Chains A and B, each alone.
Chain A
């Protein structure tokens, strides 16, 4: 709200400095956002919260200053007798929907002379950045900025017929506005219409055809109340924001509409001449009665933590324009001012007292008791994962939760359902809620490849949104990882991560085919038949789709599944201090025999003396071993808990392993 300093002085004997006024207003809820000099006046920029439409006019601001500095407010009487003649306003007003338009006041003025506004009026509008048009339009704007009630002046001669109605627009109804643009309306919009059609977009903008211009002689002055929601809907849909729509969206004072109408007519007669018809039209209902609100004085310390003297409580509430109807040592009852529809509960009065009395009176020391706080398991796990990823050289990133329709279906390992869509995109084209983090991480790789960065190792811990019929979606935290490292390097990262959370867990890798992975280079990770995640080498088709130049590997782990296997507080396990024996084995096996199969057979056959079996390498020599064979070299580490192993024990164990591998996988020891 832009405020003219000079204008404020119309209502108050103000001999306090601008700086002091602005300081106090800021601490009373009218945030001072700056000031500028305009000719001989000062323009103050005050930020008005949406609950205080009464501050959208100079009188409202002046009233607040009056409360803060204990000054009396002088409001003009808006007396039109001097300019009025008998006779009724000739126009009939019909309201189709009182929900939308509870009341509509019309007055007519005849014989005005359109011209420039007097300097005092023009200057004030100029101070607050409003253009001057002519003496009639300027007065409607002036009164709007004085009391916050929008007004509109129609050229009475241009209205067709004797009736205007407030009605819903017809579908596709056309409306030519005073901005000279034609708008196509829908039945969500409301218009003021005469016999010929819409003459104003109710609460938003007047129409070109009934606009006041230099030829105008007779006027119809509209002062009405329109409902907030439809005005906002229309104004947003048509991208037509006006000072009027802004005020209707926040609510006008229903009991000051007539004052505004009279004030407007008075000033028009004063500046443009003409006579006001004494009779006016009042369509709609009377403003609803205002209800009493009682403040128990005990609520003040209960909520604010400080005492405020009862006399001060009364002064504040009264000065704000409320009528005190009852008061005793325990409570005070008021009827709120008509412009304060926001005051209808006890807590509203507590806030008013606090606001004017001053929040600076509330001390910064209080006796808040001690309390234990707990770190959630989720937080513990995430911290562990971040620490591990940090050590393994990965940068944490955060990417948008919504993606475009192509990215949305790039990886469907977690859900084959149709990704959820939003009615608004987050950025152009991105309106799908992601069901995997991997596409976003591939997008992140591309952002980095653009700069020719070479080592792009990224991870993100964020949610995916798996659609669920008839319920809120299944939101799951995922750990998404992407890198330029090899499949086995990526698998090692995943294994290290899992081993850090639980060193004893057995994770199964199952070959996994998916368009996102290169054929034969994807894996599905499970623990006890529960999916832990997926990893693989990004297929060249996917890389092409994401415009990636370099090879990439990705992995995605379900954080919930990780939480289930994680051991948050590791337990010590006694270990052998006796020496270990290592035996290297080099087996020739058929190509299809997987390492996991060989390892499983080895572990089972070897029994409890096996500490670990470590894969070393695979070597192929088709000339020596024949086609379809591979040599698998690995090391078996043997150790007993309670003694030093003997050579015989070791030999026997190794022999068992070889025998079992031979029987179950056809492996032969390389001679």
Chain B
């Protein structure tokens, strides 16, 4: 018998013994343990004994190596038996397992938490995704064109007041795009998408937006918006109402009534405020309307060929109502006690 064959026998023996002792431990069975011991370590006809007989057949030169390996394997098998005995008999070897106080607390792995704003956004994206709207993002720092001009907000419009926007201190001439500012709405993304794609368009744009404000329980100078946009031939306000009803029903669960109140936004006309009737009260949902023809023109669409609707809502308000958060500052304070609730 070659040394290799002999070592192979030894390796196989360790592998199968390990398997059998593990089985005994798993079954917590003294009987199986004893049978396994006899099978491998039995003094008369144990498998180790059988293999030992082959030691004699190994060529003489290989004997020292073979003998060393045999002894290692023998030690290993005895260790396996010993640890299996301890596992089954318990420390005292009395054959009875320790009685646990099952009322003691478990050892909990630490689990992190996902921010409630993220969870709300994910839910909204998920619902809109099912309605066929793909989520898109865009730059948070914008130029006048995307944040105002293309959205039908002319220079003299109050929304462009320097005190109401985070304009950046960069030389306007050098940038080519006029002033730069932290975007005050995510409609900017819709402009970018329409500039680069032909209709049909069916997207939700979302992300952080910025407007200077005294920070208090209900105001923050940074917040999140999600806005939907559908542009195609033959899109009407009835489609808008239908999509919003499906959206509201998915979000709140159950059938929800939608109400439009006339409003005014530069980038939509007609413009409406949307309310959802939920458990006998009208909840404010957000703003919506038909994309203003000037906006369609600004991105190179023909308002005689396509129409579109858009709607937008503040994520913070939905999130706070959903989770009963009464102070918006909690959302951005990084207090782990707050974050760990969601």
- Which residues in A have some Cβ–Cβ distance to B below 8 Å? 26-29, 31, 49-52, 228-229, 232, 236, 249, 301-306, 345, 347-348, 350-351, 354-355, 359-360, 362-366, 368, 370-376, 378-379, 383, 386, 389-402, 420-424, 426-427, 433, 441, 443-444, 447-448, 451, 453, 455-459, 462-463, 465, 469-473, 475, 579, 644, 646-648
| Residues from chain B with Cβ under 8 Å of A421 in the complex | 168-169
15 A–B contacts from the bound complex (CB under 8 Å): A303-B237, A304-B270, A355-B270, A359-B261, A364-B257, A365-B238, A373-B132, A389-B112, A395-B340, A398-B118, A400-B332, A422-B168, A424-B162, A458-B334, A475-B140
Known interface pairs A447-B334, A472-B175. Does A423 touch B167 (Cβ–Cβ under 8 Å)?
yes
Q: Which residues of B, 288-319, contact A by the 8 Å Cβ criterion?
A: 290, 292-293, 307
Query: Which of B85-93, B96-104, B241-249 is the contact stretch?
Result: B241-249
Contact of A375 among B129, B158, B230, B335 (CB under 8 A): B129
What residues on A are CB-neighbors of B174 within 8 Å?
A: 469-470
CA distance A463 to B137 in the complex (A): 12
Known: A424-B162, A424-B163, A424-B212. 15 other contacts (CB 8 A): A31-B261, A31-B273, A236-B161, A347-B293, A354-B270, A359-B261, A359-B262, A368-B243, A373-B133, A390-B111, A391-B111, A398-B115, A426-B221, A456-B336, A472-B141
What is the chain B residue whose CB lies nearest that of A448?
B336
Quick one: closest A residue to B292, CB to CB?
A347
Say whether, besides A351-B269, A376-B134, A396 and B222 are in contact (CB < 8 Å). Answer: no
Given A236-B163, A647-B7, the answer on whether A303 and B270 have CB atoms closer than 8 Å is yes
CB of A399 within 8 A of CB of B332, answer yes
The answer to whether B336 and A453 touch across the interface, beta carbons within 8 angstroms, is yes
The residues of A that contact B50 with a CB separation of less than 8 Å are none
Complex: how many Å from CA A86 to CA B114?
79
**B125 sits at the interface (CB 8 A):** yes
How far apart are A578's CB and chain B's nearest CB, in angstroms?
Answer: 11
Whether B136 sits at the interface, judged by CB under 8 Å, is: yes
Indicate which residue in A354, A362, A364, A448 contacts B334 across the interface (CB closer than 8 Å).
A448
Interface size class of B (residues with CB under 8 A): 35 or more
**Which residues on the A side are within 8 Å of B180 (C-beta)?**
472
Least CB distance, A546 to chain B, in whole angstroms: 13
Contact A396 B132, CB 8 Å, known A365-B242, A448-B334, A472-B175: no
* Residue in A303, A390, A421 whose Cβ sees the most chain B Cβ within 10 Å: A303
What residues of chain B lie closer than 8 Å to A426, measured between beta carbons? Answer: 166, 210, 212, 221-222
Residues in B whose Cβ lies below 8 Å from that of A52: 264
Asked if residues B331 and A391 are in contact (CB atoms below 8 Å), the reply is no
* A302 in contact with B307 given A420-B168, A424-B212, A579-B15 (CB within 8 Å): yes
**Nearest Cβ distance between residue B256 and chain A, in whole angstroms?**
10
What is the distance, in angstroms, from B282's C-beta to the closest C-beta of chain A? Answer: 10
Residue of A at shortest CB range from B334? Answer: A444
What residues of chain B lie closer than 8 Å to A444, measured between beta carbons? 334
Contact of B129 among A49, A373, A393, A648 (CB under 8 A): A373
In the assembled complex, which residues on chain B have CB atoms less than 8 Å from the CB atom of A50?
Answer: 158, 264
- CA A363 – CA B158 in complex, angstroms? 35
How many Å lie between the Cα of A391 and that of B114 in the bound state? Answer: 11
- Asked if B140 and A470 make an inter-chain contact with CB atoms under 8 angstroms apart, the answer reads no
B110 within 8 A of A: yes
**Residues of B contacting A472 in the complex (Cβ-Cβ under 8 angstroms):** 139, 141-143, 175, 177, 180
Q: A455-B110, A470-B175 are in contact. Are A366 and B269 (CB under 8 A)?
A: no
CB atoms of B4 and A646 under 8 A apart = yes
Which residue from chain B places its CB closest to the CB of A378 in the assembled complex? B137
Contact mask for chain B residues 203-244; partner A; CB cutoff 8 A; 1 contact, 0 none: 000001010100100000110000000100010111101110
Is B61 in the interface zone, CB < 8 Å from A?
no
Q: What are the residues of chain B within 8 A of A397 when measuring CB–CB?
A: 115, 334, 339
User: In the bound complex, how far is the Cα of B334 from the Cα of A451, in angstroms?
Assistant: 12
CB <8 Å contact, B270 and A350: yes
Complex alpha-carbon distance, A422 and B118, angstroms: 26
Q: A249-B158, A373-B132, A375-B135 are in contact. Are A305 and B141 (CB under 8 A)?
A: no
Q: Which of A303, A400, A469 contacts B222 (CB 8 A)?
A: A400
Chain B residues with Cβ below 8 Å from A374 are 134
Q: What are the residues of chain A within 8 A of B109 when measuring CB–CB?
A: 393
Q: B135 to A396, Cβ gap below 8 A?
A: no
| Nearest opposing residue in chain B for A370, CB measure | B132
Nearest B residue to A441 via CB reads B334
Contacts A373-B202, A390-B111 given; indicate if A366 touches B262 (C-beta within 8 A): no
Query: 10 closest pairs, A vs B, by CB?
Result: A305-B238, A305-B236, A29-B262, A371-B132, A444-B334, A393-B110, A359-B260, A351-B270, A49-B264, A366-B242
A364 near B245 with CB under 8 A, answer yes
B128 partner residues in chain A, CB cutoff 8 A: 373
Q: Which residue of B lies closest to A394 (CB)?
A: B112
Q: How far is the CA of A348 from the CA of B142 in the complex (A)?
A: 29
Bound-state CA distance A249–B130 (Å) is: 44
* Cβ–Cβ < 8 Å partners of A378 in chain B: 137
A396 in contact with B245 (CB, 8 Å): no
Residues from chain B with a CB closer than 8 A to the CB of A456 are 336
Chain B residues near A232 (CB-CB < 8 A)? 158, 161
Taking a contact as CB atoms under 8 Å apart, the answer to whether A303 and B332 are in contact is: no
Asked if B271 is at the interface (CB within 8 A of a chain A CB), the reply is yes
| Residues of B with C-beta under 8 A to A372 | 132
B292 / chain A contacts, CB cutoff of 8 Å: 347
Please name all residues of chain A whose beta carbon is closer than 8 Å to the beta carbon of B331 when the two chains form the complex: 398
Other-chain residue from A389, A423, A447 in contact with B162 (beta carbon distance below 8 A)? A423
Nearest-CB residue, chain B, relative to A355:
B262
Closest chain-A Cβ to B248's Cβ sits at a distance in Å of 10
Residue of A nearest to B122 (CB): A383
* List of B residues within 8 angstroms of A644 by Cβ: 8, 11
- Complex contact B175–A471 (CB within 8 A): yes
Q: Is A396 a contact of B236 with CB atoms below 8 Å? A: no
Is B117 part of the contact surface with A, judged by Cβ < 8 Å?
Answer: yes
* Complex interface: chain B residues within 8 A of A229 (CB): 156
Give, as a whole number of angstroms, the nearest-CB distance from A87 to chain B: 40
CB distance from A645 to the nearest CB of B (A): 10
Question: Nearest chain-A residue to B15 (Cβ)?
Answer: A579
Bound: A451/B339 CA distance, A: 14
State A375–B272 Cα separation when bound (angstroms): 29
Give the residues in chain B near A306, CB-CB below 8 Å: 238
B222 touches A401 (CB 8 A): yes
Q: Is B53 an interface residue (CB 8 A)?
A: no
Of the candidates A304, A424, A458, the one whose C-beta lies within 8 Å of that of B167 is: A424
Q: Which A residues are in CB contact (< 8 Å) with B129?
A: 373, 375
B258 at the interface (CB under 8 A from A): yes
Give the residues in chain A near B258, CB-CB below 8 Å: 364
Residue B94 interfacial (CB < 8 Å) = no
> Which of A27, A236, A351, A395 lies in contact with B339, CB distance below 8 A?
A395
Q: Are B260 and A395 in contact (CB under 8 A)?
A: no
